[in-house]
Structure 1
Amino acid sequence: MANLTINTTQNIKIEFNPASLGERMLSSILDMIFKVLYVILVFYLLEEFNVFKQGLDRWSEAAITITFLLPAFFYSLFFETILQGATPGKKIMRIKVIKIDGYEATIIDYATRWVMRLVDFWIGSAVIGLIAVISSDKGQRLGDILAGTAVISVKERVFLSATIFQEVDEQYVPLFSQVLSLTDKDVYIIKEALTRIKASRDVQLLYKLVDKLKNVLGIVDIKSSSELEFVETILKDYNYLTAKS
């Protein structure tokens, strides 16, 4: 599958490697296994603690069962929201969901994808979702198209080039999660520009770089005492978050 080129609202092109169909299918299988194991555990614990032997009526038993099974029902929505576009299965396969405009996906976007699973996967035994992914130039199923998202591979981030690597303390707290929409190539260019700025003390170039980063990442408040610190924070955030991905 060809690289996924995303145009931001500022008409900036960002390249991603789209997740392959095989990677997406394997991640779905892994997630299904996790959900089945959870359901087995739930029924085991309910049986172990004799929950259904307490003289409860059918409605009470049904309410208890449904309550304990809700996490499995909302599995993908829950994990994609808290893991920034990933589920345990996606984490293992090193793929994730992003917005195709380069910004951070919201819970509304994840909820849209989750609701559309009914059409993509359950109606027609996943045939609709499969056809949509294959026919889409961005590898999107119907849920992705409606949410404005795509599934990308982040495997290349395991092998960060020494030219962009920056040691970050384990206790570091990143400020801008939007940096995950950048690529290693983008970060390399940013770091090269910062090196040139420090060497030449070119303030105008620094201002241009900061404006470009703010526009591309959708950042309003740079949360730093200076433009130089802002750019360094972007580099630190990228290294920290990609190392944790």
Structure 2
Amino acid sequence: MHFFNRITHQTPESVELEFTLAGIGSRAWALLIDYHILTFLIVGFLFIWSFIAYQVVEFWQRIFRNTDVGLWMLAIAFLVTFFLYTGYFVLFETLWQGQTPGKRFAKIRVVRDDGRLVSIQQAILRSLLRPFDDILFLGAFLIMFGQREKRLGDLVAGTIVIQTETSHTSASFPISDAAHDLMSQLLQSEADFSQLLPDDFAVIREYLQRRKVMSKQAQEQLSLELAKQTKKIIALEKLPQAVKPDTFLEAVYLAYQQDRQ
């Protein structure tokens, strides 16, 4: 078992990202929370369904003198329970950018091996294989002794579970006054910073930290490309004013942290 196991990934922009893998403790804590929520949902459904099923079976027997409908109601209950169990993880991991309520509370998330957002197909694979991971603690065994701390669902889906990155309150690089002014405008605009993932933020931060050692041409090309990608991610139609890519990235860096507080 590796405590604070870290992995690195190089983006197409030649920026090296470092992720801290979520260990067995945080993953177990997240799963415990999720299973409590799931238990509440499933028990609630079964309680309501048992009342409905009783009324249907009683009516059916009185009219048709047939008891087969009871088996159908039981089969439906099992089917819905299965969909609740699998659909819970698929729904949240797809809509909440790799997090379930338990993962959000434990400050972890599931991402692809390259650090990008998980797809619905990967979320489905992870959820369908979860029962196999739970049987005889197979998942816990693989997480504790695997180099990348993957359970069976992660191995098949090509995903990893990482700790969510906490924002730093102060930057280790200079930020212009224009960026501070632009930050306020961005926060008041239609920009959606919830779409900016931790690894996207890490790319921006890495660039801002390393730009001084880049050649002028490389800095201009990379800042322009990052600014275009970031603008697309946060769904910003147009900038409040004409600004340099560096200034825009500095403002996004500040706005992201402000938005997360």
Cα distance 1:231–1:118, how it changes in 2: closer, same or farther (>3 A)? farther
Task: Measure, in 2, the Cα distance between the counterparts of 1:204 and 1:88.
Answer: 41
Cα distance 1:243–1:23, how it changes in 2: closer, same or farther (>3 A)? farther
1:219-234 pair list within 5 angstroms? 228=244, 232=248
Can you give the 5+ residue segments of structure 2 that lack an aligned partner in the other structure?
61-68, 173-179
Which residue does the alignment assign to 1:15? 18
From 139, 143, 146, the counterpart of 1:129 = 139
Q: Indicate conservation of the 8 Å contact 1:176/1:234, yes or no.
A: no
* More displaced stretch, 96-105 vs 80-89: 96-105
Which residue does the alignment assign to 2:54? 52
What is the RMSD computed on CA atoms of the aligned residues?
4.0
1:93 paired to 2:106: yes
Matched AA of 2:102: G
Which residue does the alignment assign to 1:180? 198
Q: Indicate conservation of the 8 Å contact 1:174/1:240, yes or no.
A: no
Which residue does the alignment assign to 1:209? 223
1:104 paired to 2:117: yes
Structure 1 SS opposite 2:109: strand
Which residue does the alignment assign to 2:74? 62
Q: CA deviation at 1:78?
A: 1.6
Which residue does the alignment assign to 1:199? none
With normalisation by structure 1, the TM-score equals 0.72
Can you give the 5+ residue segments of structure 1 that lack an aligned partner in the other structure?
197-201
1:169 paired to 2:187: yes
From 130, 133, 146, the counterpart of 1:120 = 133
* More displaced stretch, 92-101 vs 69-78: 69-78
Q: CA deviation at 1:136?
A: 2.1
Q: Indicate conservation of the 8 Å contact 2:15/2:207, yes or no.
A: no
Q: CA deviation at 1:129?
A: 1.4
Which residue does the alignment assign to 2:46? 43
1:71 paired to 2:59: no
Find the structure with the greater CA-based Rg.
2
Cα distance 1:52–1:26, how it changes in 2: closer, same or farther (>3 A)? same
